[in-house]
Structure 1
């Protein structure tokens, strides 16, 4: 038992309580100040305080006297200081939360791709820590309530602060392949066996990333992926739109999931038709990935399921839940 944790929680609550109290004090002081200096009614004084503190620049409610303008200057300073303190308190709390994370996912880079990946992981309920070296990206992550470390993604110290030794996965999404290679090598050295998903802009970088610790199917090339989608759309538009439509379906009765067949699984060695999957009329095996490489789309019922296969399933959410109750390796994702 960590005897310091109650004290830590109390300190976090105190920090946020102090920030809230400071904000309330600025608003109350501003309202009372304008009422006293300008003889305004409470409504006008409160409104002027809010637009002054927030610096939105709507203009004066009524003409201010010299004393009122001087008061407004001090009020702006107090508002900016309070905002900075509140923002800092939130950032510190998010960083402290990272120290207690386990089996989390580290996202390196909070650009367009990093933000979308992070948003999806948060919606999925995953524990996420972002590493970002730009102040703008850090501020955006804090605004979204995501745990963030401000630092160089390639530095060992930064990865340590992000809890790489306790993480399950690290996602390297920097635009430079050399940086992603450095992240892959450092993370694999600090935590052998960690799953690494890495972005690759150049084809020649794929082999280096794989040698450094990233699995072949976890090296992502945005340009290659986009070109494949375009080609699939051009060469087989009907199939492309069908798959796209399936992936975009969203209603309460629909769900998808994935299943990794372990050595002790009852599915290993059986055909799809003879397994529990074949007995569920409203569950479809959409694809099977074998050996992390070969992807078999729309397999036949007589296809033999082997140990290590990753099955992608789609179907009625009730049937998928029933399947999950009988097969512990199954993980469902509701849409």
Structure 2
């Protein structure tokens, strides 16, 4: 049984114990002595070991019932908390080790290509670079696209390519070319400016959408500006 399924089972067990404890106390002591609210509250604080004191006097039968409730409820509650913590830590640790592993792969890059954006164009370029066996890394912010790159075992950085620190993390100083495939012209111009400032010799191929943006890209330092819709 996986940790997630085990947690679901434990939560269901806690619910059953909580309901059983509530109904059990009312049935044993009578609704005139223990209301459903009192019984629910007492069962809850007993299961979580908060228990202050008895809300109302308990009969010997009710005390035996509470003892059973303590063994079942406290143990199940503790195991549920432990399982929840394990799932949380496993996820965090997995992310940590995956990021460390990815960073080691990135640190080895040189004379590589940087692709900004893993949309339709960025994905196509990545596929072509894989066929040519050229080293490259993708910068992307979209979670779904990142999951796709993880499946394809593509080197990536989760971050905003308009940020200098992210470009540096992609080892732009050692890169031979950057392909800016984002869909926003303003971002393309900004990334071009940043890339040229961080690496004077890098070849910059930038995508643009609106007519006239190509001239801005050339002024910003692009070597080539292309539009999927317009002839440059």
Interval containing the TM-score (normalised by the shorter chain): 0.5 to 0.7
Instruction: Tell me the TM-score normalized by structure 2.
Output: 0.61
Q: CA deviation at 1:111?
A: 3.2
Q: 1:114 aligned to 97, 100, 122, which one?
A: 122
- The correspondence for 2:217, drawn from 209, 218, 232, is 209
CA shift, 1:149, in A, is 2.5
Which protein is bigger by CA-based radius of gyration? 2
1:100 to 108, 119, 133: 108
Shift of 1:105: 0.7
| CA displacement at 1:168 relative to structure 2 | 1.2
- Separation of aligned partners in 2, 1:113 and 1:88: 30
Aligned to 1:219: 225
Measured after TM superposition, the shift of residue 101 of structure 1 is 0.7
CA distance in structure 1 between the partners assigned to 2:164 and 2:203 by the alignment = 17
What is the aligned partner in structure 1 of residue 5 from structure 2? 51
How many angstroms apart in 1 are the aligned matches of 2:121 and 2:180?
Answer: 10
State the distance in 2 between where 1:50 and 1:156 align: 39
Work out the CA distance in 1 between the residues paired with 2:151 and 2:77.
Answer: 31
The CA deviation at 1:90 is 0.8
The CA deviation string for residues 123-182 of structure 1, in whole angstroms up to 9 with x for no partner, is 432212122245555455445433323333122232122111111110111221121112
Q: Structure 2 unaligned segments of length 5 or more: list them.
A: 18-71
Provide, for residues 176-234 of structure 1, a one-character-per-residue CA deviation record: whole Å limited to 9, x for no partner: 1121112222222322232211111012111222333333xx42212237xxxxxxxxx
**Runs of 4 or more above 6 Å deviation:** none
Residues 95 and 148, structure 1, Cα contact 8 Å, conserved in 2: no
8 Å CA contact 1:90, 1:142 repeated in 2: no
Q: Secondary structure at the match of 2:201?
A: coil
Q: Give how far 1:70 is off.
A: 5.4
TM-superposition CA deviations, 1:221-252 (whole Å, max 9, x none):
12237xxxxxxxxxxxxxxxxxxxxxxxxxxx
1:304-335: CA deviation from partner (whole Å, max 9, x where unpaired): xxxxxxxxxxxxxxxxxxxxxxxxxxxxxxxx
Structure with bigger helix share is 2
The size of the alignment, in residue pairs, is: 174
Query: Would the aligned equivalents of 1:164 and 1:190 in 2 still touch at CA under 8 Å?
Result: yes
Structure with the largest fraction of strand: 1
The 1:80–1:209 alpha-carbon spacing in structure 2 relative to 1, beyond 3 Å, is same
